[in-house]
Structure 1
Amino acid sequence: MLGIPFVNTYIKNVKVQPVADSVDWLNYYVSALLLICCSLAISAKQYFGSPIQCWVPMEFKGGWEKYAEDYCFIANSYYVPMDDEIPKDLEARQDQITYYRWVPIVLALQSILFWLPNYLWNNIHKQTAIHPRALVDDARQIVILTGQDREREIDNLARYIADALSAFAPANKGKLARSGFNAAILYLLMKFLYVVNAVGQLVMLNYFLGGEYFSWGFETMKDVIRGEEWKESEVFPRVIMCDFSIRRLANIQRHSVQCVIMMNMINEKLYFFLYWWLLFVAIVTAVNFFYYLFTMLFPSCRVRFIRSNINLNDLANMGLGRGDIERFVVDFLHCDGVLVLHFIRRHIGGRITYDLMNQLVRIFWHEAGSQTPSKASDRSHEPLLRGSAYRRNIAGDYKPSMYSPAHLYPNPHGLKTAPKLDEKNQTIDFIDEGTLPLRDLENTTPVRSPNQNQYSSSPAPVTKSSMSSV
């Protein structure tokens, strides 16, 4: 199919963006494509048609009329309402109109400004540790798989994400490149640039069109709602005046001609639409920016997103509570991990996001459970396995025996638990490998010697004489 090469290439390159949402698409694709198409259409009429036609005196013959029209198109003109007289003072003719010949160029520049933040984001996010685009592309390949192949690839992708997120160690929190927030910060910066761009373009157009663009758009909308006739305005005049001089021998003759700008009928409708389009895009983008800002700043927002995409029954079976999920989101996924999962859910689907997130929870559970107390001191105040599920699992794994009483449950902190005292055993408070407290009482309970690894079969009773010899 025939088409404009630049537009076809642009559509092919920017239509699919796996690391953007619908509001980003509204900016970098819809707005940019709309503006570039308007620029090309107006350029075709302006540079290959007749953008201006002037009423000239009868003595203008041949190429004189064409000369007058070309000069008035490139030179400054001014607007005088039909009911007003043309000022005789040349300095009073200051209400000049110069924008119409720059309209195609300005529209093309606006299109580039809408596309530029996305271009920067696509080139910078590849330098982050997590590389969101590559992860989303890998997740897309899993959708077509089934059975064990699908489970294996989900596990591989989850472990790859976990390895990438493991680079965000606590010691590197001061470094932006390894803080777990670099991709999220870059994404927020892109959205902030979209907001600045939309608002800035409204301000720029107000100055470009003479300083009355804001009031003109609002007043014109009121006339349209009331059903009134579309009035000619000073912002987009259709009939203008133009002054130029002609040298004839030693004399300079000055002429004032009246010209009609046909393009201003199109420009008027175009900029009325752009007024409300830019306002709509600015509001939607600002709301979207603050949504992502609050999501990244407040962990509770990220926890809510994660909890809506994981199996709560599996969490209960693993003994993970609310505090563990918060640690999973804040210390394991970080903002970058949540952002990647958000992209996968939006572009790939909820099913793959559900399976991938549950596999990440299992990896987090195994890694947290295998840590020693010295490496997990920040988690020692709250055990990973707790509640009814914890006691149910312990009761099923540890059976009471002579040397392993039922009350000696493994401590989740990794510390040794002292034996329980009862009526038959009142002398042993705590036994470790280096200290053996002796009391002046008889005790029939087997006691482990500090130099032995097994219990004595028939220990001798402790007497006062033996204590005195010690």
Structure 2
Amino acid sequence: MYAAVKPLSKYLQFKSVHIYDAVFTIHSKCTVALLLACTFLLSSKQYFGDPIQCMRDHNDMDFIHAYCWMYGAYVSTNITYTPDPFGHERCKPGGLGGTVPMAQRRYLRYYQWVVLVMLLQSFVFYLPAFLWKIWEGGRLKHLCMDFHQTAVSKERSKAHLGVLVKYFTSDYKETHFRYFASYVFCEVLNLGISIVNMLLLDVFIEGFWTHYVDAFLAVYSGDWEMWSSITKRVFPKCAKCEVVRFGPSGSDSSMDTLCLLPLNILNEKIFAFLWVWFMAMTFLAGLKLFFRMITMFNSGIRFHILRARARLMPKSHLQRALQNCSFGDWFVLMRVGNNISPEMFRKLLEELYATQSQRKPPPGADEI
């Protein structure tokens, strides 16, 4: 199993320069790794068996398994689960015996698509990170890479500090605004993907969100029997399959068989965890976007955030260092500050203060 998920370890390795913040990283990279790991688990037959196993005294069992897999098994409201003498639950045909009217059948075809849906989800959740990696274009790596080699060459780090001072005292407002707008677009895309994912998942697995609310309430109250009863309605462990065959004369005949869905014992736990994970991702993405809106319209908050990162640099010095600094400039400066040590970031701001002090401030210069 480790060999199957080993490629994900390289994907999750931390880079020396972080182009995403914490929420972005959790939403894209961690969620993608989680979905891919679940995909590997559900597709590993050697650990959890075949997705469907039908019981029938017939020589052509491979045909029956394939038929029930393609055309779907079904359940009805009369399915019951009774404990065996050892206290374990077993599937009892109960209401599945005899002919079940078509109106009372609920076909279970989602298990055919679970692996593919998770794989598609991983691609969609990675989309914002992929777009930002293209649009970012290695700017932060170019600005911050040398600071990770300070123990090797302090002179090179000092020279690069001068390059950064020159960069931030130049006029890149339009470039930085596009940089910021692209990042915000990706954050909006993160939130949109989370919301749409929740809606589509409820369609894919009927009543998924509603049922699991009751299931988690049952777990909170310690009622494990209720948890088991609710999860069986979402992910039943056994179902009925009607196999239609044609005889030599061309007339059709149908036969019923009881099928087990072994992977549903794993699905109910995987999707319980994903229920919590997707809810948390949607909340964090919305909270981060709300915080982004506040920083856009409140210059005082931006100033105090930057000052906290600069180890409480004197307010007057920081105001002079940031004179005529647009919101896009502030955003790029904060991204640089998140990729270098606080001490080096304060040195950068002090150098900006010294440079700006030698200049005569333009009339009406605005501060963040």
TM-score tier, shorter chain, comes to 0.7 to 0.9
If you compute each CA radius of gyration, which structure gives the higher value, 1 or 2?
1
After TM superposition, the structure 1 = structure 2 runs for residues 65-464 of structure 1, keeping only pairs within 5 Å, are 65-80=61-76, 81-83=78-80, 85-86=95-96, 88=99, 90-126=101-137, 131-142=139-150, 144-146=152-154, 150-163=157-170, 166-168=171-173, 178=174, 180-210=176-206, 212-228=207-223, 229=225, 230-232=227-229, 233-250=232-249, 251-310=251-310, 324=320, 328=322, 331-332=324-325, 334-369=326-361, 376-378=362-364
Deviations 1:238-257 (A, max 9, x none): 11111121111113111121
Query: Residue 231 of structure 1 aligns to a residue in which SS?
Result: helix
Give 1:7's aligned residue.
Answer: 8
What is the TM-score with the length of structure 1 in the denominator? 0.66
Rounded Cα–Cα distance in structure 2 between residues aligned with 1:243 and 1:94: 11
Is 2:310–2:343's contact at 8 Å kept on the other side of the alignment?
no
Is 1:52–1:73's contact at 8 Å kept on the other side of the alignment?
yes
Rounded Cα–Cα distance in structure 2 between residues aligned with 1:315 and 1:181: 25
Rounded Cα–Cα distance in structure 2 between residues aligned with 1:23 and 1:9: 20
Deviations 1:393-448 (A, max 9, x none): xxxxxxxxxxxxxxxxxxxxxxxxxxxxxxxxxxxxxxxxxxxxxxxxxxxxxxxx
Rounded Cα–Cα distance in structure 2 between residues aligned with 1:46 and 1:241: 25
Deviations 1:61-91 (A, max 9, x none): 2xx1221122111212211233563474643
Residue 184 of structure 1: how far off its partner (Å): 1.3
Rounded Cα–Cα distance in structure 2 between residues aligned with 1:226 and 1:195: 32
Deviations 1:215-251 (A, max 9, x none): 1111111111222224242211111111121111113
Deviations 1:348-403 (A, max 9, x none): 2211111111212222232335xxxxxx3435x9xxxxxxxxxxxxxxxxxxxxxx
What is the TM-score with the length of structure 2 in the denominator? 0.83
4+ long deviations beyond 6 Å: 311-315
Query: Residue 197 of structure 1 aligns to a residue in which SS?
Result: helix
Quickly say closer, same or farther: Cα 1:351–1:312, change in 2 above 3 A: closer
Is 2:39–2:118's contact at 8 Å kept on the other side of the alignment?
yes
Rounded Cα–Cα distance in structure 1 between residues aligned with 2:337 and 2:175: 24
Quickly say closer, same or farther: Cα 1:358–1:50, change in 2 above 3 A: same
Task: Give the letter for the 1:98 counterpart.
Answer: R
Is 1:142–1:153's contact at 8 Å kept on the other side of the alignment?
no
Residue 261 of structure 1: how far off its partner (Å): 0.3
Quickly say closer, same or farther: Cα 1:309–1:72, change in 2 above 3 A: closer
Rounded Cα–Cα distance in structure 1 between residues aligned with 2:121 and 2:26: 14
Query: Residue 356 of structure 1 aligns to a residue in which SS?
Result: helix
Is 1:142–1:154's contact at 8 Å kept on the other side of the alignment?
no
Rounded Cα–Cα distance in structure 2 between residues aligned with 1:312 and 1:291: 22
Residue 285 of structure 1: how far off its partner (Å): 2.0
Rounded Cα–Cα distance in structure 2 between residues aligned with 1:347 and 1:112: 27
Quickly say closer, same or farther: Cα 1:118–1:267, change in 2 above 3 A: same
Query: Residue 347 of structure 1 aligns to a residue in which SS?
Result: coil
Task: Give the letter for the 2:216 counterpart.
Answer: M
Is 2:246–2:252's contact at 8 Å kept on the other side of the alignment?
yes
Query: Residue 95 of structure 2 aligns to a residue in which SS?
Result: coil
Residue 16 of structure 1: how far off its partner (Å): 5.8
Residue 142 of structure 1: how far off its partner (Å): 4.4
User: Whose relative contact order is higher, 1 or 2, with alpha carbons under 8 Å and at least 6 apart?
Assistant: 2
Quickly say closer, same or farther: Cα 1:248–1:342, change in 2 above 3 A: same
Rounded Cα–Cα distance in structure 1 between residues aligned with 2:219 and 2:235: 17
Query: Residue 239 of structure 2 aligns to a residue in which SS?
Result: strand
Q: Give aligned-pair identity as a percent.
A: 21
| Structure 2: tracts of 5 or more residues without a match | 81-93
Task: Give the letter for the 2:260 counterpart.
Answer: V
Rounded Cα–Cα distance in structure 1 between residues aligned with 2:188 and 2:210: 26
Rounded Cα–Cα distance in structure 2 between residues aligned with 1:138 and 1:355: 15
Query: Residue 54 of structure 1 aligns to a residue in which SS?
Result: strand
Residue 315 of structure 1: how far off its partner (Å): 6.5
Q: Over aligned residues, Cα RMSD in angstroms?
A: 3.0
Query: Residue 32 of structure 1 aligns to a residue in which SS?
Result: helix
Rounded Cα–Cα distance in structure 1 between residues aligned with 2:115 and 2:282: 22
Rounded Cα–Cα distance in structure 2 between residues aligned with 1:132 and 1:149: 17
Query: Residue 245 of structure 1 aligns to a residue in which SS?
Result: strand
Rounded Cα–Cα distance in structure 2 between residues aligned with 1:293 and 1:132: 23
Query: Residue 267 of structure 2 aligns to a residue in which SS?
Result: helix
The count of corresponding residues between Structure 1 and Structure 2 is 345
Is 2:75–2:105's contact at 8 Å kept on the other side of the alignment?
no
User: More helix by proportion, 1 or 2?
Assistant: 2
Quickly say closer, same or farther: Cα 1:149–1:108, change in 2 above 3 A: closer
Residue 346 of structure 1: how far off its partner (Å): 2.4
